[in-house]
Chain A
């Protein structure tokens, strides 16, 4: 079946503009994660969704970042008033139910460049 998909693949924006990044998880996966990977850095956890539970937003770096997941499937990560330090690859991952030890399947990422 199809894997995790993300759009757009690449996004170039000007400082101060808002951007929306989209993630389509694997069908049937109830757990969804957003990470950020800056150049040469590891993956930084941003937010986690599990079913209808309240999301874990503890990784969001500032109130300019928000995410939602509609209908328990597609998720959108929104960055308002983008800054140059927001430039990074934003990776989405999903897993079947979010239980301990479950493999996370990653999408190809969105490469964001803020000029």
Chain B
């Protein structure tokens, strides 16, 4: 398999910052996606990293280290609506966009 590992569940407080980590197999790696999935809904795109470093998009940022096979999603100023599952997805270098998803991290934001 692609050995994508991320925590199963996390809890954080409204207004706080939370970091969701993801590790993956580095061989044949091309890029790393993060998707958000609310309960009972389809996943929606958050970010895609192919280069090392941090990319920021408003309250959400995503980081990638290619050499370490490590990524994280950083959520700032948490809101109740951020309660969802966050899926880390690894794209291989197979010439097209075959993406392997992790099992997701279920984030619960509490007041």
Give A contacts to B, CB under 8 Å: 4, 31, 33, 35, 40-45, 48, 50, 56, 91, 95, 98-109
For chain B, the count of residues having a C-beta within 8 Å of the partner chain is 22
With both chains docked as a complex, state the minimum distance between the C-beta of B61 and any C-beta of chain A, in angstroms.
18
Residues of B near A48 (CB, < 8 A) are 96, 98
Which of B10-18, B64-72, B100-108 is the contact stretch?
B100-108
With both chains docked as a complex, state the minimum distance between the C-beta of A19 and any C-beta of chain B, in angstroms.
20
Residues of A near B4 (CB, < 8 A) are 42
**Pairs of residues from A and B, 8 with the lowest C-beta to C-beta distance, nearest first:** A106-B42, A42-B103, A43-B101, A42-B101, A103-B45, A106-B43, A98-B96, A42-B102
Proximity bits, B70-102, A CB within 8 Å = 1, else 0: 000000000000000001010100001111111
B7 at interface, CB cutoff 8 A = no
With both chains docked as a complex, state the minimum distance between the C-beta of B56 and any C-beta of chain A, in angstroms.
18
Residues of B near A35 (CB, < 8 A) are 101
With both chains docked as a complex, state the minimum distance between the C-beta of B10 and any C-beta of chain A, in angstroms.
15
With both chains docked as a complex, state the minimum distance between the C-beta of B60 and any C-beta of chain A, in angstroms.
15
Given the contacts A41-B103, A42-B87, A42-B102, A98 and B97 also touching, CB distance less than 8 Å: yes
B30 at interface, CB cutoff 8 A = yes
Contact of B98 among A4, A42, A45, A108 (CB under 8 A): A45
Contact of B48 among A4, A56, A91, A101 (CB under 8 A): A101
Additional A-B contact list (20), CB under 8 Å, known A91-B42, A101-B31:
A42-B87, A42-B101, A42-B104, A45-B98, A45-B100, A56-B96, A56-B98, A95-B97, A98-B97, A99-B96, A100-B50, A100-B91, A101-B50, A101-B91, A102-B97, A105-B45, A106-B42, A106-B43, A108-B42, A109-B42
Residues of B near A45 (CB, < 8 A) are 98-101
| 26 A–B contacts from the bound complex (CB under 8 Å) | A31-B96, A31-B97, A33-B99, A41-B103, A44-B101, A45-B100, A48-B98, A56-B98, A91-B42, A91-B43, A95-B97, A98-B96, A99-B96, A100-B30, A100-B91, A100-B97, A101-B31, A101-B50, A101-B91, A102-B97, A104-B97, A104-B99, A106-B42, A107-B42, A108-B42, A109-B42
